[in-house]
Amino acid sequence: MNKVAPEGITFAVSTDEGSYDLEASIQLIGQDLLIAVWGGDRPHIGAVSGAQTQPSVANPATINATASVLCFPGHKEDRLVKSIAEKIARVTGRHVVVTAGAHWNKIDSEGIEKVLCNGDILAGMILEKLAACSDKGDEET
């Protein structure tokens, strides 16, 4: 398992890309991560994903992440939660649960792709913050 932030850490991050920006609240629960993502004019919970690491089927020496997704009817956040959860689980080696609900009226396919891109940026920000928290924890010990 990769080293990341110590337990008991809670923080928030947000993208600032100018359109379809997302916010997230992150909490470590034991060794696991709970991440709530929202954006747009009507934040809600539209989908939930839980991810964990596992050896790759093609190359057992490689670690991948797998995720399960629950998407409420009429919502489209399934791709968003799955990609964030898998990326963070793969890097941290922790169980990761991501909820997301973002709504923009009349969003088109280009807008949806921008939301997914911002989700990837958000996941990177979360990983950077976790690494920084871990580095601070190393200095204290």
pLDDT of residue 12: 97
User: 72: part of which helix (H) or strand (E)?
Assistant: none
pLDDT of residue 133: 82
pLDDT of residue 5: 55
User: 3: part of which helix (H) or strand (E)?
Assistant: none
d(CA 9, CA 132): 11
Q: In CATH terms, is domain 10-130 a member of 3.30.230.90? A: yes
Q: Where are the domains of the chain?
A: 10-130
pLDDT of residue 132: 87
**Angle 119-120-124 (CA atoms, 0-180°, nearest 5)?**
115
Residues of the chain with pLDDT under 70: 1-7, 135-141
